[in-house]
Amino acid sequence: IPGQKLVLITGCSSGIGLRMAVMLATDEQKRYHVVATMRDLKRKDKLVEAAGDAYGKTLSLAVLDVCNDESVQQCISGIKDRHVDVLINNAGIGLVGPIESIPIEEMKKVFETNFFGVIRMIKEVMPDMKRRKGGHIIVVSSVMGLQGVVFNDVYAASKFAMEGFCESLVVQLLKFNVTLSMIEPGPVHTEFESKMIQDVKQKEYPGADPDTVHYFKNVYLPSSVDIFETLGQTPDDIARVGSQASL
Ligand code: NDP
């Protein structure tokens, strides 16, 4: 449809990705077509229900595991002419605990998803965006991409790494009129916490108060403001996304 922008979002089975997919697909003024992706379509029901009439019209589904090269290639090549106008890299996993007790394999999974998963996606859409001289790549980082938090060492490192990657890449993309934005949310109530390995025993580590992160609750950084303006939202929508995501 002329004038319609194709937005591809990773990790839409729950949380922030699910809400972003619904908000964008149901925004009648903006005319987005959202390709909401998830690694297992058996988890689609919540999204389909929340999308209502938009499902099958302005919202379609696709399978995508950001840790799998083949899955990423298949997903992008399944899109007509491979034209993605906006890529939202949202899929991510967490890990909390003292590094002595966490197997290196678990730490690698965090980097494989939060860091290489994003790079895999960007590599796949970048050639077309550069050729067409336009596009927008968005990365959901975290306040922990800017500030370490106790026992979140590896998760914070994966997001810090992403910040460095994007800060470097953005310069290269400018020449091609491709925008790269980062979102750095504070705590949002989603399935995130319940899915991750959490190995902090409060009594043994009196300093490990999970509420420490609430310190960041109201911090909105310039890049967050930029992205929400670009999407036609306000920074307050971070909170709105969070509260709706707990549905
Ligand atoms: P959720 O756990 O609710 O959602 C994460 C999504 O990522 C799920 O859809 C999950 O799919 C998906 N995912 C995980 N691994 C992969 C993979 N290999 N390939 C494709 N999808 C995958 O958490 P949130 O919505 O809270 O998190 C979204 C993003 O926001 C993450 O990047 C997170 O780091 C970031 N963030 C979250 C904050 C919070 O407090 N919640 C704060 C700051 C940043 P599946 O259902 O298959 O597991």
Is residue 132 in a domain? yes
CA of 28 to the centre of ligand 1 (A): 26
Is residue 161 in a domain? yes
CA angle 107, 108, 110 (to 5 degrees): 70
Query: Which active-site residues does the annotation give?
Result: 155
Q: What is the mean pLDDT of residues 126-135?
A: 96
The DSSP bridge pattern shows strands 32-38 and 5-9 to be parallel
Is residue 199 in a domain? yes
CATH, residue 42: 3.40.50.720
Question: What is the per-residue pLDDT for 2?
Answer: 60
Question: In DSSP terms, which residues pair with 138 in a beta bridge?
Answer: 88, 181
191 lines ligand 1 (CB under 6 A): yes
Question: What is the per-residue pLDDT for 229?
Answer: 41
DSSP letter at 247 equals -
Quick one: which atom of ligand 1 is closest to the CA of 213?
Answer: 40
Q: How confident is the model at residue 69 (pLDDT cuts 50, 70, 90)?
A: very high
Question: What is the per-residue pLDDT for 200?
Answer: 60
Q: Is 28 annotated as a binding residue?
A: yes
CA of 1 to the centre of ligand 1 (A): 30
Is residue 247 in a domain? no
Q: What is the ipTM of this complex?
A: 0.99
Is residue 82 in a domain? yes
DSSP letter at 55 equals B
Domain around 29: 5-239
Is residue 245 in a domain? no
Mean of pLDDT over the chain:
82
Is residue 18 in a domain? yes
Tokens representing residue 60 in the block? 């379609």
Q: What is the mean pLDDT of residues 157-178?
A: 94
For the segment 35-62, what is each residue's pLDDT rounded down to a tens digit? 999 999 999 999 999 999 999 999 999 9
Provide the domain count of the chain. 1
Q: How confident is the model at residue 233 (pLDDT cuts 50, 70, 90)?
A: very low
For the segment 93-127, what is each residue's pLDDT rounded down to a tens digit? 999 888 888 899 999 999 999 999 999 999 999 99
For residue 162, pLDDT over 80 is answered with yes
Question: What is the per-residue pLDDT for 185?
Answer: 86
Between residues 85 and 209, which one has the greater pLDDT? 85
Identify the residue whose C-alpha is closest to ligand 1 atom 6. Answer: 11
61 lines ligand 1 (CB under 6 A): no
What pTM was estimated for this model as a whole?
0.86
Is residue 244 in a domain? no
CA of 202 to the centre of ligand 1 (A): 25
Quick one: which atom of ligand 1 is closest to the CA of 189?
Answer: 41
Angle between helices 117-132 and 69-77 (to 10 degrees): 30
Identify the residue whose C-alpha is closest to ligand 1 atom 23. Answer: 192
